[in-house]
Amino acid sequence: MKHIKYPESIFCSECQSHVEMLRCRMMVRKNRGRTQVEFDYVCVDCGNRASAIRDWEYLQYSERDFCQSKGLVLAGTGLKLQP
Ligand SMILES: [Zn+2]
């Protein structure tokens, strides 16, 4: 049985329900030195699909875990992206 981990800080932009994370992308802003992650999600309630951007440093456990399951990891100051 596959357990869906809902993100702790991302909610549907339409109905504020829990969402299921589909994809994530790293977005590095060199100027300000902040790394952000963009999540594509689908609402489990209304089916709304959208995306949300969060700072990597402030990701909650389930969100970080999702990134790692997709091969997104930060190693030191460098960035490793595995397919
Ligand atoms: Zn919704």
CB 40 within 8 Å of CB 22: yes
Residue 78 has a pLDDT of: 47
Neighbours of 58 (CB within 10 A): 10
Q: How far is the CA of 2 from the centre of ligand 1 (A)?
A: 21
3-state helix, strand, coil in the chain (%, to 5): 15, 45, 40
Among 50-54, 61-65, 70-74, name the one with the lowest average pLDDT: 70-74
* Whole-model pTM over 0.85: no
DSSP code for 30: T
Q: How far is the CA of 52 from the centre of ligand 1 (A)?
A: 13
Q: How far is the CA of 11 from the centre of ligand 1 (A)?
A: 8
Q: How far is the CA of 12 from the centre of ligand 1 (A)?
A: 5
Q: How far is the CA of 80 from the centre of ligand 1 (A)?
A: 32
More confident residue, 80 or 24: 24
Distance from the Cα of residue 80 to its chain's centroid:
16
Distance CA 53, CA 16 (A): 16
